[in-house]
Amino acid sequence: MDRMRINKGLFSVSKFLMRPIYKIYEKMLWLQIKNGPFPVHIGIIPDGNRRWAKRSGFDPKQGHEYGYQRIKEVLKWIWELNIRYVTVYAMSSENCLYRPLDEREHLFNIVKKGLQELMNMPDIHEKKIQVKVFGRLELVPKDIVELAKKIEEQTKDYREYRLNIALCYGGRQEILDAVRKIVKDAQSGKINPESINEETFSRYLYTNGCPDPDLIIRTSGEVRISNFLLWQSAYSELYFCEAYWPEFRKIDFWRAIRSYQRRERRYGR
Q: Is 93 annotated as a binding residue?
A: yes
Q: Is 99 annotated as a binding residue?
A: yes
Pairing mode of beta strands 85-92, 237-240? unpaired
- Four-point Cα dihedral 22, 27, 125, 117, nearest 10: 0
Q: Is 43 annotated as a binding residue?
A: no
SS (H, E, C) the chain: CHHHHHHHHHHHHHHHHHHHHHHHHHHHHHHHHCCCCCCCEEEEECCCHHHHHHHHCCCHHHHHHHHHHHHHHHHHHHHHCCCCEEEEEEEEHHHHHHCCHHHHHHHHHHHHHHHHHHHHCHHHHHCCEEEEEECCHHHCCHHHHHHHHHHHHHHCCCCCEEEEEEEEECHHHHHHHHHHHHHHHHHCCCCCHHHCCHHHHHHCCCCCCCCCCCEEEECCCCCCCCCCCCCCCCCCEEEECCCCHHHCCHHHHHHHHHHHHHCCCCCCC
Q: Is 109 annotated as a binding residue?
A: no
Q: Is 48 annotated as a binding residue?
A: yes
Q: Is 36 annotated as a binding residue?
A: no
Q: Is 136 annotated as a binding residue?
A: no
Q: Is 41 annotated as a binding residue?
A: no
Question: Cα–Cα distance between 47 and 49 in angstroms, integer?
Answer: 6
Q: Is 3 annotated as a binding residue?
A: no
Q: Name the residues annotated as catalytic.
A: 47, 95
Q: Is 216 annotated as a binding residue?
A: no
Q: Is 231 annotated as a binding residue?
A: no
Question: Cα–Cα distance between 101 and 103 in angstroms, integer?
Answer: 5
Q: Is 49 annotated as a binding residue?
A: yes
Q: Is 104 annotated as a binding residue?
A: no
Q: Is 5 annotated as a binding residue?
A: no
Q: What are the binding residues for substrate?
A: 48-52, 64, 92-94, 99, 218, 224-226
Q: What are the binding residues?
A: 47-52, 64, 92-94, 99, 218, 224-226, 237
Q: What are the binding residues for Mg(2+)?
A: 47, 237
